[in-house]
Amino acid sequence: MLRHLPNAITLLNLFCGACASLCLLYGRLEWAIGLVALGALADLLDGMVARWLKVHSELGKQLDSLADMVSFGLVPGLILYVLIANALNGEWPHDLEIRALPAFLITLFSALRLGKFNLDDRQTDGFLGLPTPGCTLFMIGLLGLHLAPEAHFNFILQPVALYAITILFSILMVVEIPMFSFKFKSLQWTGNEIRIIFAAIAGLLVLVWQIKSLSAIVLLYILTSFFIYFSKRKPLS
């Protein structure tokens, strides 16, 4: 019976993603944010439980990707869709807004990202491109900004900026630039310097800006990964 526990946790992730999608359509944003957080926790736990029980299976791997496609593929696209529709019309969407449909580029590139990840054996200790949960966290940060607007950052919720974010993050998910993971191989400082410093900064940002900080944290993660990558490249002779 215990061998089915990891798959049950994965299905909880899928359920949370489906419910979060409904909450976004009905304007229940706080519920949507909470459900995405619960789904992300389930996504983290299913692998840990599978390793603990030593019950890895091909079914579990496929279920994980399918659940992620909803929670971290459909959901971020839907977040951008409702935010663009709201920015265009001045109210939460009550009907189909064709001009906001480009937001689902995020969903399409999430599917491409997840498919590539399943076939790529180079991403065991890190990532090539932005992981789909990172993209989703950025979009959750935008929801936080919508719920508690900041005068200095309101331009981010304008249609042009949201379209640009759609294109940028679609590209970031499939670009083959290494990005560091948060897997700690040990509890020592050596070898984990970047992870520990980043986690401390991220925690501080969350304390100051709460949910709105998630977008800034993801941007910091991307910039840090880019800096590490380009600083290690050998200059052309």
Which one-letter amino acid corresponds to residue 223? L
Residue 187, in any domain of the structure: no
Q: Tokens 């090539």 appear where?
A: 128
Q: 41: which 2 tokens?
A: 């926790």
Residue 147, in any domain of the structure: yes
Q: 44: which 2 tokens?
A: 């983290």
The count of domains in the chain is 1
Torsion of CA 30, 69, 109, 49, to 10 degrees: 100
| CATH number of the domain that residue 169 is part of | 1.20.120.1760
Q: 50: which 2 tokens?
A: 């599978």
pLDDT of residue 124: 64
Residue 180 has φ and ψ, to the nearest 5°, of -70, 150
Rounded alpha-carbon distances, angstroms, from residue 105 to 125, 135, 162, 163: 28, 12, 12, 10
pLDDT of residue 186: 58
Residue 224, in any domain of the structure: no
pTM of the model: 0.91
> Within its chain, how far is the Cα of 139 from the centroid?
8
- Please check whether residue 102 is in contact with residue 163, taking contact to mean a CB–CB distance below 8 angstroms: yes
As a whole number of angstroms, the distance between CA 6 and CA 12 comes to 10
Residue 136, in any domain of the structure: yes
What is the extent of the structural domain holding 97? 2-180
As a whole number of angstroms, the distance between CA 30 and CA 20 comes to 10
Residue 105, in any domain of the structure: yes
Residue 228, in any domain of the structure: no
Per-residue pLDDT of the chain (237 residues; tens, 9 = 90+): 677 888 899 999 999 999 999 999 999 999 999 999 999 999 988 888 888 887 777 888 889 999 999 999 999 999 999 999 999 999 999 999 999 999 999 999 999 999 888 887 776 667 889 999 999 999 999 999 999 888 778 899 999 999 999 999 999 999 988 888 876 565 666 667 788 888 899 999 999 889 999 999 999 999 999 988 888 765 544
Residue 197 has φ and ψ, to the nearest 5°, of -65, -45
Q: Tokens 């990202």 appear where?
A: 113
Distant-in-sequence, close-in-space partners of 7: CB < 8 Å, separation ≥ 6: 46, 57, 59, 60, 63
pLDDT of residue 237: 46
Q: Max CA-CA distance within the chain?
A: 60
Residue 69 has φ and ψ, to the nearest 5°, of -60, -30
